[in-house]
Amino acid sequence: MAVKTTGRLPSKGAGAAPLQGLFWRHPWLRPLLLLAPPVGWFVLIYFAALVLLLVTAFWTIDPFTTQIVQSWSLDNFTTIVSDSTYGTIIGRTVLLAALVTITDAVLAFPFAYYMARVASRRWQTALFAAVLLPLWASYLARLYAWILILNHSGLLNWSLQSIGLPPANIGYSNVAMWLVFSYIWLPFMIIPVYAALERMPESLLEAAADLGARRWRTLRDVVLPLVLPGVIAGSIFTFSLTLGDYITPILIGGASSNLIGNVVYANIGIANNVPFAAALTMVPIAVMAIYLTIAQRLGAFEAL
Amino acid sequence: MRATESSTSLLRWACLAAAAVVTVTACGSSSTATGSTIAPPPTATMKPQASIGAGEGQLNLILWDGYADKSWADPFTAATGCKLNLHPAGSSDEMVSLMKDGGGGQWDMVSASGDADLRLIYSGDVKPMNTDLIPDYQNFQAYFKSPPYNTISGVHYGISLQWGPNTLLYNTKKFTTAPTSWSVIYDKAYQGLVTVPDNPIQIADGALYLMKTKPSLGITDPYELTRPQFDATVALLKSQQPLIKHYWSLAADEITLFQNQDVVVGAAWPYQTIQLKGLPNGSDFADTIPQEGATGWADTWMLATKAAHPNCAYMWAKWVSTAQVQAEQALSFGETPVNSKACAQMDALQSGSCKQYHADETGAAYFNTIKFWKTPLATCDDGSNSCIPYADWVSAWTTIKG
């Protein structure tokens, strides 16, 4: 009996001690175990999916069976480069994304400036709500609202005609897409610009004034450099969101309004040509990689 | 409510056309293997059941969203005790992949479209059905008793359901008399006032037009195009591109386009015309099938080879074939029923709807003008491999839209 008891106690302790000892001897083990699930998730779900996408891009499909043929070839990339249609579509997408980003930056700056530095506390809250409110409504609902505004007998033409101007037929065109994208992604630009402006110390403006800088000089040499990281942070959203969208072109685009997303969608959903879609997806990934590298150099990530 | 309904049915159609592609390719390869004589489907010799036994209590369906609407599905469950488990599919392609291995014992029936049918049949995923167990089969219009897309060598691999044409929709203020030719959607006079579906199968509409207007190309089937025929069609559609205001994806979008006079003419389904005619200025809109004819679609309820609830499946096929349910579904989707007796019920539900949907037409006169959708295959009907497969249709469509 006594033997048994003495036999049990040390064995119980021995079960926990080696583990604790292990952690004590290897201090890196505990954080590793803690981090393993999130890191594993990231690697598996995020990274592996991306690698799989990359690999698929080098495969092709058999035209007879539409089954994926797992042999390495650059056919998909050759098609993208050699067929001018894809060049046009990629060019259109990048140009539109750039235009939307510039438009949003120009619109967001004065708005955010007023919100951060001029408006009273109460107004600030109200404006914040006003900026975020559209995000609560469905993306599709907002798109359809724009269709109602821009179409032939819509609000825009009605207003123009009632003040004696000729109608502007911009519904179902690339101009319409530019307007709608600029509207839809605007909050994503205002918020980071606002954050950058709010963090700007008042003392810097006072110092600029003391040193004799006028308003424009202060804006150019003090405010803009400090806000630039915020603008670039916002532009990451507006640029990448436009780059990947395919719903707006479907609903409000004109005859030649295909974006990269639409071609990807058609190749997956209609043609079942996943390899080609994967190859085409590499284009926005490459564009974003270049863009993010530049943004990082400009210090945008510090403002996020 | 109407908007949701229309958008789901539209989505379904958009997917339909898309999915058709992959479907027929499979049977294409089987015909490649055997030359011009195609081997009979694997399930051809399976004997369908001779009677409907007691229901199994449930039924698992793969279907187009809304094909088992509460208004006729709930009474079915109440009458038969078969509880419905529905899996709405997004495309014909999805239907085909879900039905792999004869439905795997998991699925009982699928509401496949003409573009998916042959693939399902030739891969042995569906089995012959006994039309004697469907009393309303006798009332089906002649063509839909044994249409080539679900009946092979006299064996029925499903029960025809509904169909519809792709029509020419126009604004009556711009066209005081109905256009007699599809040429209006290729006419520079209507620059920026034309709309067509955003769908690669739309190339068939161009081919159908060239079939009649350029006989020298020798097109006999708009879904079987050789390289020169295909290139000529793509060239035609590229010249049409500058005239297009918008390539529509959802039926509701086309309705908006016409309603706001953004366009005056375009390719449509009867559904859009019916919705537009319901508007205060409904008399501004009408549709027609021009002299060149039209393309169209047709759906079939098919029985999975490994169906675990065959009795409930037959009860369902029987139920949806009845004139009343056929009429309800036709009006809910803007389709045309295959049951010729459904006409009266349609008119009872919505006055004049039978004529609107051409459900009253009998015989071959009307169907003959319609080339029903099928998946373009590399293998032509004559067994040669000179036709352009659907994957090329899709990439050409991207080029056309630019």
Q: DSSP assignment of B245-309, as one string?
A: EEEE-SHHHHHHHHHTTS-SEEEE-HHHHHHHHTSTTGGGEEEE--TT-EEEEEEEEEEETT-S-
Q: B22 contacts in A (CB within 8 Å)? A: 66, 272
CA distances from B265 to B35, B169, B258, B363 (A): 43, 6, 8, 29
Q: Above pLDDT 70, what percent of chain A?
A: 90
pTM above 0.80? no
The size of chain A, in residues, is: 304
Whether residues A255 and B18 touch (CB distance < 8 A) is answered with no
Cα of A98 vs its chain's centroid, Å: 13
Query: Higher model confidence: residue A68 or residue A138?
Result: A138
B144 touches B138 (CB < 8 A): no
**In sequence order, what are the residues at sequence separation of 6 or more whose Cβ sits closer than 8 angstroms to the Cβ of residue B18?**
A266, A269, A270, A271, B91, B92, B93, B199, B200, B201
Q: How far is residue A158's CA from residue A11's CA, in Å, rounded to a whole number?
A: 88
Token pair in block for residue A187: 């909050």
SS (H, E, C) A45-84: HHHHHHHHHHHHCCCEECCCCCCEECCCCCHHHHHHHHCH
Which of B15, B198, B262 lies closest to A172 in CB terms? B262
Residue B372 pairs in a beta bridge with: B296
Chain B residues whose beta carbon lies within 8 Å of the beta carbon of residue A161: none
Query: Cβ contact (<8 Å) for A271 and B15?
Result: no
Determine the pLDDT at residue A63. Answer: 64
Do B370 and B364 meet the contact criterion of CB atoms below 8 Å apart?
no
Q: Given this model, what pLDDT does residue B362 score?
A: 59
- Of the two residues A6 and B257, the one the predictor is more confident about is B257
Residue-level pLDDT at A287? 93
Interchain pair A85, B26: CB under 8 A = no
User: What is the mean pLDDT of each successive set of 10 residues along chain B, which is 402 residues long?
Assistant: 38 40 36 47 91 94 87 95 88 77 91 83 90 95 88 93 92 94 96 91 94 94 94 97 91 90 92 87 92 91 96 96 94 87 91 83 69 81 83 88 88
Mean pLDDT of chain A: 87
The rounded distance, in Å, linking the Cα atoms of B157 and B121 is 7
Residue in B91, B261, B389 nearest the CB of A269 = B91
- Please tell me the distance from the alpha carbon of residue B174 to that of residue B192, in angstroms, as a whole number: 14
Q: Do A271 and B21 touch (CB under 8 A)?
A: yes
Strand B294-304 to B285-288 pairing? unpaired
More confident site: B352 or A194: A194
Nearest CB neighbour to B242, from listed A61, A253, A255? A255
**Phi and psi, residue B197, nearest 5°:** -65, 145
- Nearest to residue B196, comparing CAs of B268, B262, B258, B253? B268
Separation CA B344–CA B341 (nearest Å): 7
Out of A62-76, A95-109, A197-211, A242-256, the most confident range is: A95-109
Residues in chain A whose Cβ is within 8 Å of chain B: 61, 63-66, 79, 83, 85-86, 88-89, 147, 151-154, 169, 171-172, 250-251, 253-256, 258, 263, 266-267, 269-273
Q: Is the pLDDT of residue A8 over 70?
A: no
Per-residue model confidence (pLDDT) at position A110: 94
pLDDT at position B90? 65
- CA–CA dist B272, B6 (Å, integer): 9
pLDDT digits (tens, 9 = 90+) for A48-100: 888 988 899 999 887 655 678 888 889 899 999 998 999 999 999 999 999 99
Residue A11 has a pLDDT of 46
* Cβ neighbours of B249 in A, within 8 Å: 250-251
The whole-number pLDDT of residue B26 equals 36
Choose from A92, A270, A272, A280 for mutation: most chain B CBs within 10 A.
A270
Chain B residues at the A interface, defined by Cβ less than 8 Å, are 15, 17-19, 21-22, 25-26, 28-29, 32, 90-91, 93, 192, 198-200, 241-247, 249, 253, 256-257, 260-262, 378, 389-392, 394-395, 397-399, 401-402
The per-residue pLDDT for A2 is 42
